[in-house]
Each structure stands twice: as structure tokens, then as C-alpha cells.
Structure 1
Amino acid sequence: MIIVAGWLAVAPEARAAYLEGCAEAVRLARAAPGCLEYALGADLLDPGRVTVYERWESDEDLERFRGSGPSDEQAAQILGASVARYRISAIEAP
């Protein structure tokens, strides 16, 4: 299993529009083969922060969906980011 998690920084006054512009990508990801979870959300404390969380069955599933990445318009709105890919070898109950 692959987890992609982290955050994106956008202008606080543009965050709602940024997330609205990502809605179709979220719908497409959730329908993509191998997608177990895909979520982008507004941080509760930082008005310019977007939380990223994805779970995929495999690298191949992730790469097939990801393609060339965000649109140029979306990429231009990202002021900073810290997102990483994690390879999970086991899953346990909390």
C-alpha cells in the first residue's frame, strides 16, 4: 500500500477557490482503479494550508492516475508544499 500525505500552502484568500477547483480531481481519483482514499481539506487552524491524504493499492495505480500532476493553474496557486510518499508493509488495528 502507498500513502501520500502532507500539506500544500496557498494564499488564505484563495484556499476555498483552490479546493473547489480540485473537486473534479478528487472525484476522478476516488473512481480510479487502486484508489482506497483520496482527500484534500482545509486545515482548521491555518487559513492557507490544505491537507493532502491519499491511499493507493500500488505505485502503478498511483502513477496511472497521477499522470502529469496538477494543472498549470493549480500549480501556480501552490506557494509551498511538504508531501511525501510512504510504503506501508503492514496494517494493524489502532
Structure 2
Amino acid sequence: MTTAPSRDTPTKIVFNAYYRVHPDDRQKFVDAVVPHLSFAAESPGCLFYVFAADLLDPATIHLSEGWVDQEAVDRFHASEPFRAALDAVRRSVRILDHQGQRYEVAAHGSSAPPGGIA
């Protein structure tokens, strides 16, 4: 039996991306991705999956996702909810700019700032 990931589960693969969408299509982008967010976050091997609006540019949306291994990524990318969201974006959203990076993590540790948060 596999143990559910926790905050201590090492992240092996991280994707960070941004999408700058035509301002008239922002809501279409949101409508396309929101229905699959819970599915993504609860997918086996997903440690985090977050879309977030840019605080300075409402037409820019950031994506950050972390996975335990490539098998989990492949399973998610083959899933119907992911394919449906991707197809909806491709059909109805004008992406003006996009950049994404994939990172394979060699080490795992805390990212708390010096002196902590509190």
C-alpha cells in the first residue's frame, strides 16, 4: 500500500510556467482550468498543483506543480480531465505569451527565509 504524500515527501519534478492571455479571454482560461484543479491536486503522486493570478498583471496566470516521479506526471497528462482542460484552452483562449520550465530536483530542503516567517 502506498502512503499518501505529505509535506515531507520529496518533490522530484517541478513545473513552473506562466501564461499571458488576451484580457478578453482571461475568464475563459479560468473557466477551462478550474474544473480540473481538485482532480489534479488529488491525483496520485501530485504534491501541489496551483494556478495563481499575477498580482501586478491580471492577464498573467502562473502555474506551479510538483510531482513525486515521472510516472505520476505521465498518468496525469493522459487523464481525461487534464486533456479536457488543455483542449478547452487551446480552442477558446488566445495565449499571448507562455513560458514554462521543468525542474528535476536533486536535493530537497526547507525554503523558509532567514529568521523564519513569524
TM-score (normalizing by structure 2): 0.71
Alignment identity in percent?
Answer: 28
The whole-number CA distance in structure 1 between the counterparts of 2:21 and 2:49 is 19
Q: Match of 1:9, as an amino acid?
A: R
More deviation in 2-11 or 16-25?
16-25
Count of aligned positions: 93
1 or 2 for the larger relative contact order (CA 8 Å, sep ≥6)?
1
* Match of residue 56 from structure 1: 67
| Runs of 4+, deviation exceeding 6 Å | none
**5+ long unaligned stretches in structure 2:** 1-11, 112-118
TM-score (normalizing by structure 1): 0.87
**5+ long unaligned stretches in structure 1:** none
* Match of residue 107 from structure 2: 90
From the CA coordinates, give the structure whose radius of gyration is larger.
2
1:46 pairs with one of 19, 37, 57? 57
* Match of residue 47 from structure 2: 36
1:5 pairs with one of 13, 16, 21? 16
* Match of residue 79 from structure 1: 96
Which aligned pairs between 1:14-33 and structure 2 lie closer than 5 A?
A: 14-33=25-44
More strand per residue: 1 or 2?
1
